[in-house]
Amino acid sequence: MLFVWVGAVLMTTGVVAATLGGDRLPGVCAGCHGEEGVSAGSATPTIAGTKTETFVQRMRDFKTGNRTATLMDRIANGYTDDEIGRMGEYFSKRPFERAQQPTDRAMAERGKHFAEQYCASCHEEAGTVDDGRPGILAGQWLSYLRFRLEDYRLGVDRIPKKMRLGIESILHEAGVEGLESVLQFYASQK
Amino acid sequence: MELGMSNVTRRQFLQWTAAVGTTGFPLTGRGSSGRVVVIGGGVGGITAAKSIKKAAPSLNVILVEQKKHYSACFMSNEVLAHSRSLESLRFTYDGLWKYGITVVNQSAVAIDAAVHKVILEGGAVLEYDRLIVSPGIDLRYDVIVGYNRRVAEKLPHAWTSGDQIGLLRTQLEAMQDGGTVLIAAPKNPFRCPSAPYERASQIAWYLQRYKPKSKIILLDAKEIFSQQALFMEAWRALYGFGTQNSLIDWHPASEEGTVTRVDPDAMAVYSGELDTVTKGAVINLIPPQMAGMIARTSGLTDDTYWCPVNKTTFESTKAKDVHILGDACNAQDMPKSAYSAASQAQCVAAVVVSAMSGVGEIPLFTHLNACYSILGQDWAISTVGVYRSNSTGTILQSVEGSGGTSSPGAGATQRKHAVEYAHSWYQNITHALFT
């Protein structure tokens, strides 16, 4: 159903956008998410390279309140499905550029072990691909990853049972530092 | 009144043009491609220039800006609390050349929309197919008695960043503990509606740490202000607001808040119907504002001192093929902010490229504004808005069910994250503008 809908969006707006040499609407996101969706700010996530379906689902979750936000819920409410589809199309075609940020090598090495054991079945290929819901983790900003994980841990946001069990297992084995090491691993991907 | 030169008449303009000729900037690449001139190297102007060049690389895009450096107003309040350096607000225009934008470091002194020409201070004339005017604000020296450009060197407004912010910081540093800091906020509309209150918060944060016996008196020409409940919640929690030892006292218009005259020699301001006198060791007088000078002298403003525009295309209702954006235009519900200017610039880029490529169809646009205010240690709040115009371009209003402020009572974690997101926004917007 979603797929059909996105296709329809392309048919109605694609012509105008192409004639204009690019749709300018996604430009409104740049203030916080960076030019072309690549964030130069250390807390806002890069949204370039996100699959259209993932993008649309995120925006819907913001609208319904299924995903907590600092202000994205209040913004998502103002945009139509058509506009969200156009934005999703735009960012899906922009390359994800990994953040250049300092990470703790020893911690990342330890985190790799946890990531492979508990995260890799959904966050495939070391979190470098967006294959639907999870989004790209590799090279995402560390502050943002911490914020999200904190929301998941505290139960502010609902997550799949498998992920909750994974987090609990890591906490049991290595405490909060264990979780941080997983984030260090994903953030350190160059 | 200190409004600079009077309106440029058509005859004057033609005289100037005849005197200087049209040398200096030959029209290269006109015809199939065309030329866009952008006046004003702020958030609106730069974003428009870059977006147009990106969408239509064959267009000749010229940015006219008299200053060599840009000093950001957004985040400048942090300089007052010593959590940011003045230098970190400064940027050069060097990064724009690599996008194929020509930066002309001169002042634009007149526009003749009838013949599609801009005249520069040096006398050179720039012809354009479409003109984008994004001059920002000028301060009004004709409203408060005794206030003028010279007085502003003693009673800084600090509303155009750079030297003025530096001056206010220096005065705060020189003030003795126990001194009164007086802030006067103007009526709406003005640049950045939440900034006087963020400023009061940042100065309170500074005083709390370095001069705890001092206090702030905030005289306001309004009854209510942007995100008032959120500001007051923070002031109560952080600065004793509402108690006898409050670092901040706020006086709305009904409590003698409207400043009507100043006496700089006595370091005093007079306000309200009772002509109440208030003295300050430091006086930060933020005066009423108006559209930048080029917009006024070129007849682009109306009796509000702002520029009326079509709300869909941002084309001036007074001059064809001239688009006005950012703080200078009247965008109704959209506040005068950096984020608004960038959003309007994306819209105007689409409109201009569409028109110049002969598409004819005007693309509709849904605007966005987002503003963070940092009020103290680990405490930030936000307001956002999504805006859409009607089909005739007469109304630009907030989309129902969207936008609004962060929640009062938001947890400490949310407020702390908002500080990081605010700084992240600053990194992104300045990166997008200058690199």
pLDDT in tens, B264-288: 999 999 999 999 999 999 999 999 9
Closest partner residue to A78 among B357, B403, B432, by Cβ? B403
**What CATH number does the domain containing A20 carry?**
1.10.760.10
Whether A114 and A169 share a structural domain: yes
Quick one: pLDDT at residue B6?
40
Local confidence band at A68 (pLDDT 50, 70, 90 cut-offs): confident
The answer to whether residues A14 and A87 belong to one domain is yes
Domain contains A99: no
Q: Do residues A30 and A79 share a domain?
A: yes
> Best residue in A15, A19, A20 to probe B by mutation, most B CBs within 10 Å?
A20
DSSP string, B44-103: HHHHHHHHHHHH-TTSEEEEE-S-SEEE--TTTHHHHTTSS-SGGGEEESGGGGGGTPEE
All residues at 6 or more sequence positions from A100 whose CB lies less than 8 Å from its CB, including other chains: none
Q: How far is CA A5 from CA A75, A82, A86, A90, in A?
A: 21, 9, 11, 16
Are A81 and A127 members of one domain?
no
3-state SS assignment for residue A161:
helix
Number of other residues whose CB lies within 10 A of the CB of residue B10: 12
Query: Do A119 and A46 share a structural domain?
Result: no
Look at residue A20 and tell me whether its pLDDT is greater than 60: no
- Contact residues, chain B, for A33 at CB < 8 Å: 428
Answer yes or no: do B363 and A20 touch at CB < 8 A. yes
Q: Are residues A6 and A85 in the same domain?
A: yes
B4 Cα distance to chain centroid:
20
Angle between helices B338-356 and B43-55 (to 10 degrees): 30
* Domain B1-66+106-140+288-361 matches domain B151-285 at the CATH topology level: yes
Q: Which range marks the domain in which residue A152 is found?
A: 105-187
Report pLDDT for B25.
43
Do A79 and A139 belong to one domain?
no
What is the distance in angstroms between the Cα of A94 and the nearest Cα belonging to chain B? 14
In the listed set A70, A92, A114, which residue is the last one of a domain according to the structure?
A92
Q: Which residues contact B163 (CB under 8 A, 6 or more apart)?
A: none
For range A162-189, the mean pLDDT: 96
Dist CA A115 CA A98 (whole Å): 18
Last residue of a domain, one of A43, A63, A92: A92
Question: Rounded to an integer, what distance in angstroms lies between the CA atom of residue B70 and that of residue A91?
Answer: 30
**Cα distances (angstroms) measured from residue A25 to each of B50, B68, B409:** 14, 30, 33
Please tell me if residue A18 touches chain B, with a CB cutoff of 8 Å. no
Low-confidence ranges of chain B (pLDDT < 50): 1-9, 13-32
What is the per-residue pLDDT for A157?
Answer: 84
Residue A100 lies in a domain: no
Residue A98 falls inside a structural domain: no
Domain contains A79: yes
- Looking at every residue in chain A, the average pLDDT score rounds to 87
Do residues A35 and A88 both lie within one domain?
A: yes
Nearest CA to B249 out of B297, B273, B215, B202 is that of B215
Q: Mutation target for A interface from B378, B406, B420, B423: give the one with most A CBs within 10 A.
A: B420
Q: Are strands B215-220 and B180-185 parallel, antiparallel or unpaired?
A: parallel
Q: Contact at 8 Å (CB) between B61 and B39?
A: no
At residue B359, the pLDDT reads 75
Q: Name the residue with tokens 């409203």.
A: B143
For residue B359, give the chain A residue with the closest CA: A19
- How long a stretch of residues is chain B? 435
* Cβ neighbour number for residue B107 with a 10 Å cutoff: 15
Tell me which of A92, A113, A142 is where a domain ends: A92
* Domain match, A110 and A84 both: no
Please tell me the CATH code under which domain B1-66+106-140+288-361 is placed: 3.50.50.60
Burial tier of A101 (Cβ tally within 10 Å: 0-12, 13-18, 19+): middle
pLDDT recorded at residue A132: 67
Count of domains in chain A? Answer: 2
Q: What pLDDT does residue A158 have?
A: 83
**How many other C-beta atoms can be found within 10 angstroms of the C-beta atom of residue B188?**
14
A15 in contact with B at a CB cutoff of 8 Å?
Answer: no
pLDDT at residue A13 is higher than 70: no
Name the CATH topology of B151-285: FAD/NAD(P)-binding domain (3.50.50)
Please indicate whether, in this complex, the C-beta atoms of B366 and A143 are within 8 angstroms of each other. no
Question: Does A24 reach chain B within 8 Å, measured CB to CB?
Answer: yes
DSSP letter for B304, please. T
Tell me which of A30 and B12 has the higher pLDDT.
A30
Q: Which H or E run contains A164?
A: helix A161-187
Domain for residue A81, yes or no? yes
Q: How many CA within 13 A on the CB side of residue A68?
A: 21
Establish if A160 belongs to a structural domain.
yes
What DSSP string runs through B350-413? HHHHHHHTT-------EEEEEEEEEEETTEEEEEEEEEEE-TTSS-EEEPTT--EEPPTT--HH
Taking contacts as CB-CB distances below 8 angstroms, the residues of chain B near A74 are 384, 402-404
Does residue A111 share a domain with residue A53? no
Phi first, then psi, for residue B393 (nearest 5°) are 75, 25
Same domain, A118 and A82: no
Domain ranges across chain B: 1-66+106-140+288-361, 151-285
Q: Chain A contact for B397, CB < 8 A?
A: no
Residue with tokens 């999870």: A134
Tens-digit pLDDT profile for residues A108-162: 999 999 999 999 999 988 899 887 667 899 999 999 999 999 988 888 888 889 9
Q: How many CB atoms lie within 10 A of CB B358?
A: 7
Chain B residues inside the 8 Å CB shell of A44: 421, 424-425, 428
Write down the mean pLDDT value for chain B: 92
Instruction: Looking at the complex, report in whole angstroms how far the Cα of residue B198 sits from the nearest Cα belonging to chain A.
Output: 19
Mode of pairing for the β-strands spanning B102-104 and B289-291? unpaired
Please list every residue in chain B whose beta carbon sits closer than 8 Å to the beta carbon of residue A28: 342-343, 346, 366-368
Q: Is residue A59 part of a domain?
A: yes
Residue of B nearest to A145 (CA): B417
Q: Are B381 and B197 in contact (CB under 8 A)?
A: no
Using CB atoms, pick whichever of B354, B359, B429 lies closest to residue A31.
B429
Chain A residues within 8 A of B371 when measuring between CB atoms: none
A-chain residues within 8 Å CB-CB of B314? none
Tokens at residue B256, please? 């003698």
For position A22, what pLDDT does the model report?
66
Return the pLDDT at A2.
38
Read off the amino acid at residue A76.
Answer: A
Interface of B with A in 199-238 (CB under 8 A): none
Residue A151 domain-assigned?
A: yes
CA-CA-CA-CA dihedral for A164, A170, A173, A175, to nearest 10: -100
d(CA B169, CA B158): 9
Residues contacting residue B320 through CB under 8 Å, at least 6 positions apart: B113
Residue A101 CA to residue B100 CA, distance in Å, equals: 30
